Amino acid sequence: MTSTPTARDLTLAQILERQRLAFLADPQPGAGVRRDRIQRLKQLVLDNAAELTEAMREDYGSRPETFSTLTDIASSIPDLDHQRAHVRKWMRPTRVSRALEAVGFTQQVRHDPKGVVGIIGPWNFPLYLTIVPAGSALGAGNRVMMRPSSVTARTTEVLCRRAPEYFAVDELAVAGPEHGRGSDFSALAFDHLFFTGSPAVGKSVAADAARNLTPVTLELGGKNPVLVDTSADIDRAARSIASARLVNGGQVCMCPDYVFVPRDRLDTFCDTVLDQWRTSLPAIVGNPEYTAIVNDSNYERIVGLVDDAVAKGARRRDAAPAAERLPDPLTRKIAPTLLTGVTPDMEIDSDEVFGPVLTVFGYDTLDDAIRYVTDRPSPLVLYWYGEKNERFEVVADRTRSGSIYGNDFGIGMASSAIPFGGVGNSGMGGYHGHYGFRTFTHERAVALHSFDADVSQLMVPPFTRGKKRLASAYLGAMRARTRLGL
Out of 58, 157, 160, 253, the active site residue is 253
How far, in Å, CA of 21 to CA of 180, rounded?
A: 23
Whether 51 is catalytic is: no
> Following DSSP, what letter does each residue of 28-58 receive, concatenated?
S--HHHHHHHHHHHHHHHHHTHHHHHHHHHH
- Sheet with 427-428, strands from edge to edge, namely 172-174, 143-147, 116-120, 192-196, 216-219, 427-428
How large is the greatest C-alpha to C-alpha distance in the chain, in angstroms? 95
Cα 244 from chain centroid (whole Å): 17
- Find the angle CA(15)-CA(126)-CA(202) to the nearest 5 degrees: 75
Gap between the Cα atoms of 158 and 127, Å rounded: 11
Q: How far is CA 158 from the centre of its chain?
A: 23
Write the DSSP assignment of 130-185 as a string of letters.
HHHHHHHHHHTT-EEEEE--SSSHHHHHHHHHHGGGT--TTTEEE--GGG--HHHH
Q: Phi and psi at residue 105, in whole multiples of 5°? A: -115, 110
Going by the DSSP 8-state scheme, the letter that residue 431 receives in this structure is B
Beta bridge partners of 261: 362
**CA within 13 Å, CB half, 297:** 1
Q: Residue 37 corresponds to which amino acid?
A: R
Please give the Cα distance from 440 to 434 (Å, whole number). 10
Q: Which helix (H) or strand (E) holds 209?
A: helix 199-210
Distance CA 210, CA 366 (A): 40
How many Cβ atoms sit within 10 Å of the Cβ of residue 84? Answer: 21
Task: Give the distance, in angstroms, between the CA of residue 126 and the centroid of all CA atoms in the same chain.
Answer: 12
Q: Which of 160, 171, 219, 270 is catalytic?
A: 219
Cβ neighbours of residue 268 under 8 Å, at least 6 residues apart? 234, 235, 238
Helix, strand, coil distribution of the chain in percent, nearest 5: 50, 15, 35
Contacts of 28 by beta carbon, 8 Å cutoff, 6+ apart: 112, 113, 141
Active site residue 347: no
The helix (H) or strand (E) run that includes residue 217 is strand 216-219
Return the exposure string of 148-183: e unless at least 16 CB atoms fall within 10 Å of the residue's CB, then b.
Answer: bbebbbbbbbbbbebbbebbebbbbbbbbeebeebe
Q: Which residue type does 32 have?
A: G
Task: Catalogue the active-site residues.
Answer: 219, 253
